[in-house]
Amino acid sequence: MIDREQLHRDGYALLRGAIPGDWLDELRDVFDAGVTPSELWPVPRGPGWRHSWLDLDPRIQAVCRLPALLQVVGALIGSSYFIAQVEGREPLPGGGQQGLHRDLSAKRPGDTVNAIAFFDDFGVDNGATRFIPGTHRPAPGETTVGPGEEQRAQYLSGSAGDIFVFDADLLHAGSLNRGGGRRRSILIGYFDAQLHAAHLQTAGLRGVRMDTSERFLPTVVGRAIRAARGDPRQACRHDPRPSSNCRNQSLTTQSITRWMRSTPLRLSTLW
């Protein structure tokens, strides 16, 4: 079960082993196949990172819809939402260092949630994400990061298959890949459904090719469960015009309840 009070207090959750282990080799291959030079993106990407254009891949889309992940996203956003984008990112050897920052909500606190799904083991040596728990509700007018904040930052560490889910206003940053090891991941953005029109205005510039019309409620329903139970290619083809079979299937309340009882959420926090 989700500890909603703790989730909203800390602004994040770390889902251990959320991605099925037998998906990981395929996901790493998809990442490598999608690596695209910075100058070939609609807007050039920053230096120090390897970027993978992979948002149309069915297995990637299945990761975005993992039920445990959607549970946390729904609890944080608290209203109908959609998957806005997904992009592969990996810090290059000697790259990846960022200053602590907020990705920022759009119209209200909590309307934007990010998730980083890791395809390789991660830690201090290969550019792990660092963050400060509980910093996702800054005081009114607070726009800068204080000089002492860096000392409070915690470094994520974990295994391939873990997913870090966080409020977009949480202070976080990428770190230096000092050891040069691989640290492939995807960054997923989830937005409140009311932001969809604004999202479409800039989707092309951000390299978004996937269909973003699907809506999710703050609970685990429908296609997410089907995708997690079986082959995501059979759950939905994820083309720009989803079929009515994909869009209109539904589950009964009883079947959702049975599934929730049989699939506990593995949620841990770092202290």
Check residue 91 and give its pLDDT. 97
Domains of the chain: 4-268 (2.60.120.620)
254 Cβ neighbours under 8 A, 6+ residues apart: none
Residue 180 has pLDDT above 50, yes or no: yes
Q: What percent of the chain has pLDDT over 70?
A: 80
Residue pair 125/81 in contact (Cβ under 8 Å)? The answer is no
pLDDT higher at 76 or 249: 76
Does residue 173 sit in helix, strand or coil?
strand
118 Cβ neighbours under 8 A, 6+ residues apart: 158, 159, 160, 161, 162, 163, 164, 183, 184, 185
Check residue 1 and give its pLDDT. 63
pLDDT higher at 232 or 39: 39
Q: State the pLDDT confidence band at 257, using cuts at 50, 70 and 90.
A: very low
β-bridge partners, 108 = none
Check residue 266 and give its pLDDT. 37
Alpha helices in the chain (DSSP H): 4-10, 24-34, 58-64, 67-77, 196-202, 222-229, 232-235, 244-248, 253-262
| CA–CA distance, 123 with 119 (Å, rounded to integer) | 13
Residue pair 106/167 in contact (Cβ under 8 Å)? The answer is no
Beta strand 81-91 pairing with 185-192: antiparallel
Residue 127 has pLDDT above 70, yes or no: yes
Which has the closest alpha carbon to 266: 167, 188, 165?
165
φ, ψ for residue 97 (rounded to 5)?
-70, 130
Asked whether the whole model's pTM tops 0.85, one would answer no
Q: State the pLDDT confidence band at 103, using cuts at 50, 70 and 90.
A: confident
Residue 197, number of CB atoms within 10 A of its CB: 8
Residue 119 has pLDDT above 60, yes or no: yes
Residue 39 has pLDDT above 80, yes or no: yes
Check residue 144 and give its pLDDT. 74
